[in-house]
Chain A
């Protein structure tokens, strides 16, 4: 049985509002790269480095791309700030979706959500992805990191 998905744009609008109003968990922030982007495809995000490790007191910038099939398909996520983290491409900062649980299981969870009524707290969102990446960073907090503020060449 196919229950209609919440249309992409409604969902992204809700996410945008949540991001701009800062209603999230407060360990990350996100918004449209260009506030005039009516398709809401390109997003920027920041993750505040998890404490007690190399990431402490750093801010990591990311780019996120929500394709036409979002939220059935996960966003494409790139680090803009250089980061030494397994699963992050060291040329363009791309986050391997297999490295982060919520990205890896995204399609599966989306299918399950399509069968059931939508839960109050949406498990699939840009914020959920950022939080998951932050948690993943925390698991690797001991890795030495490039100087703060350095960015991948293609974003300079």
Chain B
């Protein structure tokens, strides 16, 4: 690139010009020539082919002025000048590579962005609900905006004790489109002839809006834990997939949170998938545990592996806790199953005074998250398969980022990422706060 400058008598400098399209030109020019001279040179077809008046040159953080001599900028040999095209009458689409280019149009305009293709919450976020002071506060979703673990039972309970929330939940359930969506988005419900009545029944609403019900559900869930302690079945939104929970109910819950809905009519498979089976196991005066139900076919076939797995878990807890559960005096859900538990395991629906399937805690939480308006992606897409990859693989990206920031302790990084559900921000908070 032996370009001779127009003056020639002066000191020559050689530098690079990096264009917006990442092309690099090596220019040798006299230090005495002006910035405009340089632009004119770059305007040539063999360089950038952009008129001088539309070029902007930047060196070392400074925008270069046309009238200045290049010497003003003290450009050192082999340094780089950036060239950016200016806005003025810029219809040419040739130069769009300045940076990543997200297309704004592709982003849905309502809060349901990213939730689901068939318009999950459009009804809720529409004008109809404008001004409803019911959208939960940001705090409810924790540091990572709901991407982490779902809110604690206390948080949910306190949310539910807010009358505005109850009101909007009622509104939502009155909205046929919303109910349709819930039904469509879940194969179990879609196959259920009376799903709509169920979702719209006053009983269901009571469940969804009563903070006590949530607390009871959480208590139930702890009781149901296969090992008698720990977390039991994780809720669908739970991303803290420690191996223990992954081994038990995780995939089942994640694949189909509603699988735990027993079906009315006592379809065998559904009964097996029903965590409440262990309740019946415990309370069954005939001493017949419900394993047969667990392996039964039927409506549970929608998610056969899931229901089998859950059924097995329920078995275990049924035998392990047979005495236990029976002795828990204030069985909060006993009323749901009517006064006569003897045939409970065979046909729960028959016992149910409301003709409704029992609700599982997972389902409750799932609903909570939907109504929260910002369910985490896993919650919004119940069909997403559980991620069973090892953590170092699953969090490879995040681990790399943490490493770049100087967090080198692999085990602590993994632990922190687990806690934050994979959010780097959350993990850093944890690493810095907990150290």
Contact = CB atoms under 8 A, between A and B. Distances in A.
Nearest to B56: A59
A120 B404 contact: yes
A27 to B, nearest CB: 5
Q: Interface range on chain B: under 10, 10 to 19, 20 to 34, or 35 or more?
A: 35 or more
A29 interface: yes
B406 A46 contact: no
A117 B403 CA distance: 10
Interface in A64-117: 105, 108-109, 111-113, 115-117
Interface stretch (B44-52, B73-81, B143-151, B299-307): B73-81
A118 B100 CA distance: 28
B242 interface: no
A22 B80 contact: yes
A120 B406 CA distance: 9
Given A21-B79, A22-B18, A46 B85 contact: no
Interface of B: 16, 18, 22, 56, 58-63, 74, 76, 78-82, 84-87, 90, 96, 98-99, 101-104, 403-408, 428, 431-432
Contact of A46 (B58, B104, B403, B428): B58
Contacts of B56: 59
A7 interface: no
Given A46-B62, A112-B431, 7 more contacts: A19-B61, A22-B79, A29-B82, A31-B62, A50-B99, A57-B87, A109-B406
Q: Which 7 A-B pairs have the closest CB atoms?
A: A31-B60, A22-B80, A57-B87, A44-B61, A30-B61, A116-B406, A31-B61
Contact of B86 (A23, A51, A57): A57
Contact of B60 (A44, A53, A56, A58): A44
Nearest to B18: A22
A35 B99 contact: no
A119 B81 CA distance: 28
Nearest to A58: B87
Nearest to A105: B428
Contacts of A44: 60-62
Interface string A116-141: 11111101000000000000000000
A152 interface: no
8 contacts: A30-B61, A46-B62, A48-B84, A57-B84, A59-B63, A59-B84, A108-B432, A123-B406
B58 A59 contact: yes
A111 to B, nearest CB: 8
A57 B90 contact: yes
Contacts of B90: 57
B80 A21 contact: yes
Given A21-B80, A26-B18, A112 B405 contact: yes
Interface residues of A, number: 42
B40 to A, nearest CB: 20
Nearest to A16: B60
A112 to B, nearest CB: 6
Given A22-B79, A123-B404, A51 B58 contact: no
A20 B60 contact: yes
A48 B98 CA distance: 8
A45 B61 contact: yes
Contacts of A56: 87
Contact of A148 (B58, B87, B404, B431): B87
Interface string A1-30: 000000000000000000111110011011
A44 to B, nearest CB: 4
A43 to B, nearest CB: 6
A131 to B, nearest CB: 10
B80 A20 contact: yes
A156 interface: no
Contacts of B102: 52
Contacts of A53: 104
B61 A21 contact: no
B429 to A, nearest CB: 9
A46 B86 CA distance: 14
A29 B408 contact: no
Given A20-B79, A22-B16, A119 B405 contact: yes
A37 to B, nearest CB: 12
Given A26-B82, A116-B406, A19 B60 contact: yes
A156 B81 CA distance: 24
B99 A20 contact: no
Given A22-B16, A29-B82, A43-B61, A119 B76 contact: no
A59 B20 CA distance: 13
Contacts of A40: none
A43 B62 CA distance: 10
Given A46-B62, A57-B87, A21 B404 contact: no
A113 B406 contact: yes
B85 A57 contact: yes
Given A22-B16, A57-B90, A27 B404 contact: no
B99 A29 contact: no
A78 B87 CA distance: 24
